Amino acid sequence: MQGWLSTHILDTSSGLPAGNVKLLLSILKADRQEQLVETHTNRDGRTDTPLLEGDKFVCGIYEISFYIGDYFGMRNSQSTNNSFLNVVPVRFGIEDASKHYHVPLLVSPYGYSTYRGS
């Protein structure tokens, strides 16, 4: 059985999903970071397909970069593009590629949290 990787973003300042947020998924190799996926969240704050699945979903250290400053800049017409949070990197490990790993981001303009979801 093969696992998969998913994510979603909830804007805790509005209580709504964060749509149209750019995400970059990378895997960390010994000497470099290799970009695997570039996508955006949909209106539900999720990606339309898993970030990784099948043979591409392997054990290792990954990083999702959430471009949240752009999202809050679009929502706030008075923004100076100097958001407190710009790109939120979340680095995590996959130790069992047969499992589902879900990496949610709960975010406001001034803070964020994450956890391993289900």
Mean pLDDT in residue range 26-39: 95
Residues 6+ apart with CB under 8 A from 42: 19, 48
Q: Cα separation of 47 and 68, whole Å?
A: 15
As a whole number of angstroms, the distance between CA 107 and CA 116 comes to 15
Q: What is residue 77's predicted lDDT score, i.e. its pLDDT?
A: 57
Q: What is the pLDDT, as a whole number, of residue 80?
A: 55
State the pairing for strand pair 100-108/4-11: parallel
Give the per-residue pLDDT at 103: 98
CA distance to 32, 41, 95, 96, 99, per residue, from 45 (Å)? 29, 5, 26, 26, 22
Whether the predicted pLDDT of 5 surpasses 90: yes
Count how many Cα atoms sit within 13 Å of the Cα of residue 30 in the half-sphere of its side chain.
Answer: 0
Average pLDDT over residues 40-61: 96
pLDDT (tens digit per residue) in 74-106: 877 555 566 789 999 999 999 999 999 999 999
Burial 47-76 (b: 16+ CB within 10 A, else e): beebbbeeeebeeeebbbbbbbbbbbbeee
Length of the chain counted residue by residue: 118
- The CA-based diameter of the chain, rounded to the nearest angstrom, is 49
pLDDT band for 73, please (50, 70, 90 cuts). Answer: confident
Whether the predicted pLDDT of 4 surpasses 90: yes
pLDDT, position 28 = 96
pTM given for the model: 0.92
